[in-house]
Each structure stands twice: as C-alpha cells, then as structure tokens.
Structure 1
Amino acid sequence: MKKFSIVWAVIILLAGCSPKTVRTAYRVPKNGLSQFFRYEPGKTPMISAHRGGGDIKGYPENCIESFQYLADRMPTIIECDISLTKDSVLMMMHDNSLERTTTGKGKLNEVRWEYCKTLNLEDNQGNLTKFKIPTLEEVLRWGKGKVVFTLDVKRTVPFEKVVDMIHKTGATDYAAVITYNATDAAKLHRLDPALMLSVGIMKQADYERLRELGIPDNRMIAFVGTKEANPDLYRFLHEKGISCILGTLGNLDKQAAAKGDQLYRQYAKNGADIMSTDRPLELWEAVKETK
C-alpha cells in the first residue's frame, strides 16, 4: 500500500494536478478561430462561462484563479469584462466601481492601477479571497492553450487599446471580441479583419446590416439573445456556417436549476451551439455527451 501511495504521489506531481482534476481545453485549429467557431452539425455544444465564473464559492468573477478552476474541470470559453483605470490600464472588471467585487472603493475612472493592485477580490456571495484584480495582458498571456476568450469591452475602453493588446500578446487565435451594435462590429473589423466578433443577431435584418458593413460570415459568432431564438433564425445562420450563442444566464439558467439540467440538452437540440451561462459546471455535466 505504501509503494502504491508513493507511485500515485509521483504521478500527481508530474501531472501537476489532483486525482480529481481533469486538464482539458478546446483545441483551436491551425487556421484559427474562424474554423473553431464555424457551425458544424453534430458538434458537442460549447460552454461560455459568463464573467469567467463568480457564483462558485471562493472564486470571484473576472479572476484568473476562477478561470483556472473551470479550465481544470472542463473545456471552456471564458467571457470576461475589460475596464480602464484613470491612468489607462486595461484591467478585468464588470462594474464601473470597485465596491461590489473588491475590498476597494471608488469609480474606475477615478482610481489608478497602483491602488487597484492593493485590493483583494470578493466572490458573488461577498466572501473575501486572496485573489487580485488581473490586467487584460495577464489574462491573455495566461489563457494561451488553456481557454478561448470572448472579451466584453466596456464603454469607456477604446477598441484600439484592446486590439493592440490582443496583437501584443498574440491572442488573435484564442480571443474573440463582443460587440453590441453593427457600427462597433464594423469598426473592430476595420481595426483587424482577422478578429472573430460576437455580434447580436436576433432577426435576419440584423445579419443583413452586418453584411452591408462588410463583415464576412466567417468572422461572425451570432449572439441570439437570452431567450430561445426562432428555429428559422437558427437554421438561417447555420446554413451560412455561423454558430449561435444562446445566453442562458438569467431566466434559462434558473429554469434549468428548477426543472432539471436536461433543459440544456433541449436548448442545444433546438439550435444553440454555445451557451453563455452562470452555471458552467452543471451545464457541462448535462451536455458533454451530447452529439
């Protein structure tokens, strides 16, 4: 028994993880995210962790340690939020102020990065952690080979700064950018035509507007909303090779928690290729065998 324990301990040490940890990641093809996100029938649904987690006790949102916690257990897309300090440092934060998720106080556009570095993060239940606010650069450098990102750029943040950081860190092949209107999508496409863009498409006219502005199908990931899309919209987009993100965060997650996680399999069957969720671990357990 002692010999077995020693051997097992060596295996764990070499693997760099516990016996319960599963190290896995989505594999991005050599031709990048355009192929990774291309719709193909029969693919296992993908999971996007809203704000990179946060509802798991001890693991705050927009935090590298939380991203790692999920990446150790499942292949995941990390949706996370980029904000800007007074001295123009790109940092990860959803809110415009520090109070809800950190030990600090103040609006982000009124505080400097030197102050933010002294703070600790709190989880969504208000539990204090030892974790720190990461910068966008730290997040992108950490994520290579581990996760795929969808980057939510807050209104005060210039797209140019985000694109420059994507280029600086070589993250084009594993970081897409979220947009909320066709004009912003077109601007980002002009800044870098190789970028993958999450674009809002709730009806066919939304797609037509994006195409008029010059965004090709192979650079679009369609966010279809936080309620199930019309089957005709799913079919229309799939025929063009465009994958669809359904935001289960909010009501659809609550329905699954109340009625059973098998609902996630139904959302996938109805046409959702990616689900953006506050319940990533539960969703993964529900759909990981789905083909």
Structure 2
Amino acid sequence: MKRIYNFILLLCLVQLAVAQNRIAEIRENLLGNYSDRVLVVSHRADWRNAPENSLQGIQNCIDMGVDMVEIDLKKTKDGHLVVMHDKTINRTMTGKGNAEDYTLAELKAMRLKNGAGCKTRHQIPTLEEVMLLCKGKIMVNIDKGYDYFQEAYAVLEKTGTIDHCVIKAGLPYERVKAENGDVLDKVIFMPIVNLHKEGAEKIINDYQLHMKPTAYELVFNDDNEEMLRLIRKVRDSGAKLFINSLWPELCGGHDDDRAVELHQPDDSWGWILNQGAKLIQTDRPALLLEYLRKKKLHD
C-alpha cells in the first residue's frame, strides 16, 4: 500500500512539474527574445466547438496546445466576477438582461448557448473557476475586464495565478496609472492602440516613456504606409506585437477568413508574421497552430 501511495505522490509531483514548466515556457516566449516562436491566443476560447467563454471551450484550447485564451468579465448582483463578453446575457445564455441584474446562483441556474444559439449543458463560469482550470496549463488574456482590474487581481492572487495573466485596456497611460498604479507593475499589462485613430502615436509615446510595456495590441483597419510605420515604431522599441486576425477591420484585411475561406494563409497569417507579430489572436486556433507548426514557429 505504501508503494502505491508513493507512486501516486510521485505521479502528482511529475504532473505539477510539467504544468509549471508549461507556464514558464509560455512566459519565457512572451518576455524573452525568441523570434522563432509565435504564441497563439484563442478568442473567447474555442467558441466554434463549445460555448464562448466557457470552461469546455478553454479546456479544448488547452488540449490543442493553445498558449493563451482571451476572456471577458462582468460582475454579478452579489459581486462575483463571471466570464461574459456582452453587456447583456441575451445572446449567449438562456436568460435575458444584464449579468449584474442576477446573483451568481441565478446565473448558474441558466445555461450557455452555443454558436448557433442553442441551449447547452454548460454554465457560466466565474473568473476563479477559469483561473483554477488554467493554472499551470495556459495563460489568460483578460480583454473586456479593465473595469474590474482590482477585483480581478484579487482573484489572481487568491488562485496563485498572477503570473498566468495579461490584462489589457485601450486607455492612455495617465489614466491607467492613476486608477491602478498600485498593481500595474505586478501583472503583465498590455495597452490596446487603434493605429488608425487620432492620437495613436501619442499613446504609444507616453507608454514608452513611462512604462515600456512588454507588448502592445495593435488594431488597424488598413495596411497603408502610415499604419506600417506605426507598427515598425512599436516593434523597433523592443515591445512585442499582439495582432488580431479575427476580422478585416482589426488587421488591415489580413484576417482568419482570408486564410481559411479564401485559402490565402500566407496573405493573412503570413503577412502578420512578416510584421513581426509575437502573439496572434484568432478564431481559428487549430488551423493557425497547424500553419505555424508547418513553419516551425510553434511546438
């Protein structure tokens, strides 16, 4: 009996070490200078095969080898952070109204819908449930969640996953520093910059002057010379590039559907790679992973 116990203990320790190595590897790729490795970020998890922002969708991403899942946050009537993109639950759940109109128990009594709008068996997850699932396995990108920055940080602290998370906001440095300066240096914070909007370069300059972020999420609706100049500016600063391939207006027309439906992956994902992107957020994680692996840019 003692031998069996020791074997189980050893197996658990091995699994823990492997999990810790996985997160350490992803962070090293993100924070280091490895031009031969690109990180895949799955938008709202694997929403084509499971309800968006669901635990099953996240587990699918873990199983396929995705590096990071993107999630969004809302707060319930009784103060719990749940994972939900829309302001209302109308599109993605079996109920109606805002998440903040319901307690967590009331939301848990409902069910998530799949991409076709059909009821599933899945429940809305809390941020804590998500972080415990992801712990040691995959990083998490909190997109629509800046309004809950401090509360989200408390959950990360509680679950021991501060090093698993990237928090983003499309706001100038001065506001982010004023509102969350006490924890800003404890997490990976990524500014979102819309390059085609007025004042984009000033936002970049201010972040570079005061913070020097690890990475920027760059959004651009055209691939003209001015957009390319700003992309080069960020890249040449030493920061990593996070580029969305979700739809054309986010990446100057070099999107997922161009890669998959038009069979032009080199003109979409390949173009993004040529800009020096370190992270690509996609709605087609399995196919992007396959493309990167063929180019020996992903394990």
TM-score range relative to shorter protein: 0.7 to 0.9
Q: Provide the residue aligned with 1:220 in structure 2.
A: 214
**Shift of residue 286 of structure 1?**
1.3
For 1:198, which of 186, 190, 193 is the aligned residue?
Answer: 190
Q: Provide the residue aligned with 1:132 in structure 2.
A: 123
**Structure 1 stretches lacking a partner, 5+ long:** 1-13, 15-22
Provide the C-alpha distance between the structure 2 equivalents of 1:25 and 1:43, rounded to a whole number of angstroms. Answer: 22
Q: In the alignment, is residue 257 of structure 1 matched against residue 254 of structure 2?
A: no
Say whether the 8 Å CA contact 1:83–1:90 is kept in structure 2: yes
Q: Provide the residue aligned with 1:38 in structure 2.
A: 31
Q: In the alignment, is residue 148 of structure 1 matched against residue 143 of structure 2?
A: no
Provide the C-alpha distance between the structure 1 equivalents of 2:128 and 2:164, rounded to a whole number of angstroms. Answer: 14
- The 1:90/1:125 distance shift into structure 2, 3 A limit, reads same
Tell me the TM-score normalised to structure 1 length: 0.80
Aligned letter for 1:54?
A: W
**Shift of residue 254 of structure 1?**
2.4
C-alpha offsets along residues 35-93 of structure 1, whole Å, 9 cap, x if unaligned? 4423635222211111113122xx01101111111211123310001110111110000
Q: Provide the residue aligned with 2:273 in structure 1.
A: 268
- The 1:282/1:151 distance shift into structure 2, 3 A limit, reads same
Provide the C-alpha distance between the structure 1 equivalents of 2:150 and 2:260, rounded to a whole number of angstroms. Answer: 40
- 1:28-177 matches, cutoff 5 A: 28-29=23-24, 33=27, 35-38=28-31, 40=33, 42-56=35-49, 59-154=50-145, 157-177=147-167
Say whether the 8 Å CA contact 1:231–1:271 is kept in structure 2: no
**Shift of residue 119 of structure 1?**
1.2
Provide the C-alpha distance between the structure 1 equivalents of 2:137 and 2:290, rounded to a whole number of angstroms. Answer: 19
**Shift of residue 226 of structure 1?**
4.8
What secondary structure does 1:199 align onto? Answer: strand
Identity of aligned residues (%): 22
Q: Provide the residue aligned with 2:251 in structure 1.
A: none
Q: Provide the residue aligned with 2:22 in structure 1.
A: 27
- The 1:246/1:287 distance shift into structure 2, 3 A limit, reads same
Say whether the 8 Å CA contact 2:74–2:100 is kept in structure 1: no
Q: Provide the residue aligned with 1:7 in structure 2.
A: none
Provide the C-alpha distance between the structure 2 equivalents of 1:146 and 1:226, rounded to a whole number of angstroms. Answer: 31
- The 1:25/1:238 distance shift into structure 2, 3 A limit, reads farther
Tell me the TM-score normalised to structure 2 length: 0.78
**Shift of residue 206 of structure 1?**
2.0
**Shift of residue 205 of structure 1?**
2.5
**More displaced 10-residue stretch of structure 1: 201-210 or 228-237:** 228-237
Say whether the 8 Å CA contact 1:92–1:136 is kept in structure 2: yes
- The 1:62/1:25 distance shift into structure 2, 3 A limit, reads farther
Figure out how many residues of one structure are paired with residues of the other and give that number: 262
**Shift of residue 220 of structure 1?**
3.1
What secondary structure does 2:40 align onto? Answer: strand
Q: Provide the residue aligned with 2:235 in structure 1.
A: 238
Aligned letter for 2:93?
A: T
Provide the C-alpha distance between the structure 1 equivalents of 2:21 and 2:269, rounded to a whole number of angstroms. Answer: 20
- The 1:286/1:226 distance shift into structure 2, 3 A limit, reads farther
Q: In the alignment, is residue 286 of structure 1 matched against residue 274 of structure 2?
A: no
Say whether the 8 Å CA contact 1:150–1:175 is kept in structure 2: yes
Say whether the 8 Å CA contact 2:245–2:256 is kept in structure 1: yes
Provide the C-alpha distance between the structure 1 equivalents of 2:279 and 2:168, rounded to a whole number of angstroms. Answer: 14
Provide the C-alpha distance between the structure 2 equivalents of 1:137 and 1:273, rounded to a whole number of angstroms. Answer: 28
Q: Provide the residue aligned with 2:205 in structure 1.
A: 208
Aligned letter for 1:269?
A: N
Say whether the 8 Å CA contact 1:163–1:192 is kept in structure 2: no
Say whether the 8 Å CA contact 1:103–1:119 is kept in structure 2: yes
Higher helix share: 2
- The 1:250/1:107 distance shift into structure 2, 3 A limit, reads same
Aligned letter for 1:158?
A: Y
